[in-house]
Amino acid sequence: MHEMSLAEGVLQLIEDAARQQEFSKVTTVWLEIGQLAGVEAEAMKFCFDAVTRGSLAEGAKLEIIATPGTAWCMNCSSTVVCCERFGACPSCGSYQMQVTGGDEMRVKELEVA
């Protein structure tokens, strides 16, 4: 379950931001997760709750914002929305696709006290 190490990374980012911006409590975390990132949202929520126990983010609500996957088709020169990394182009059926978005995960916003 790589979501545990991802949740630990998110907590590290939160703790770094707390030191830099001098806040002591996080109440909500908005996390953008791309459809092609390979992150299971429910597993991420479970792991986030586990790793934040005893930290400044304990009890914080994790809001996940799903972003679509996008790719550029080398065959028809179209930018398309895609649901899987190695899928066919919905426009022409080609498998010559280069992912251009939706494979990232980032902390978008924190609500702090």
Mean pLDDT within 76-94: 93
Which domain covers residue 61, as residue numbers?
3-112
Does pTM surpass 0.75? yes
Q: Residue 12: which residues within 8 A CB-CB, separation 6 or more?
A: none
Please tell me the predicted confidence (pLDDT) of residue 113: 87
pLDDT surpassing 90 at residue 45:
yes
Q: 50-54, 83-87, 92-96 — which is least confidently predicted?
A: 83-87
pLDDT digits (tens, 9 = 90+) for 9-30: 999 999 999 999 999 999 999 9
Number of domains in the chain: 1
Phi, psi at 88, each rounded to 5°: -85, 155
Percent of the chain clearing pLDDT 90 (strictly above): 93
The label of the residue with tokens 């986030």 reads 48
CATH of residue 25 = 3.30.2320.80
Yes or no: say if 50 and 64 are a contact pair by the CB < 8 Å rule.
no
pLDDT surpassing 90 at residue 103:
yes
Please tell me the predicted confidence (pLDDT) of residue 1: 59
